[in-house]
Homo-oligomer: A and B are copies of this chain.
Amino acid sequence: MAASPQKVSESTVRRLSLYLRFLEEFEEKGVTTVSSEELAGRGGTTAAQVRKDLSIFGSFGKRGLGYAVPLLGREIRRILGLSRSWRVALVGAGRIGAALFEYPNFRTRGFRIVTVLDHDPKKVGRLWDGTRIRHVDTLEETLRETKVDIAILAVPEEVVQDVVDRVVSVEIKAILNFAPTQLRVPNDVVVNDVNMAMELEALSFALVNRALR
């Protein structure tokens, strides 16, 4: 690595994820090299931004020749930590949980949901595609036994802080939270929030903003 990755911004990481998707599309089409312009064009950013993002991690392109598609794909996968697989726990087997469980792109990216937990006695014990739903009361031992790296929390707002405290107590350091609330976690735990209402609020802001021009 050319730079300390701690200093990499969240938006750079997101753009890397996007570049990886475009590289995979190029690869499927049999394209072997791409320019920073081509990568930028697909992602709604600039060629300079592409070069800047990639240069944080090393020197991947050749001046005038562009980037080798499969090689750059592999490098970005390595940078993003996708050259290994991750063991994921899904806490909450409601509608959002069910949608996430069936999300096809998790598996292809190396994210394996190895356990599902819920509090509903009607759900506990059921098999979801070979994974038996366990009671959330067993959360700590289940996460330990199944060697979970990442927890996805798809539980109601009212209980999520309690759940996250328990998840954190067994040394899980990465959490994807779907409850519309700000979680309190220790400094060494990373939380990403997916908040559908906030996504719509950003659109609402953009619409109001348009109207004002």
Interface of A toward B, CB cutoff 8 Å? 1, 5-6, 8, 10, 13-14, 16-18, 21-22, 42-44, 79-82, 86, 88, 94-96, 98-100, 102-103, 105-106, 109-111, 149-150, 173-176, 180-182, 188, 190, 192, 194-210, 212-213
Contacts and interface: CB of A to CB of B under 8 A. Distances in A.
B95 A204 contact: no
A128 to B, nearest CB: 12
Contacts of A1: 212
Contacts of A21: 180-182
A91 B111 CA distance: 27
B18 A207 contact: no
B208 A80 contact: yes
Contacts of A196: 100, 103, 105-106, 176, 194
A197 to B, nearest CB: 4
Contact of A206 (B94, B174, B199): B174
Contact of A197 (B109, B175, B190): B109
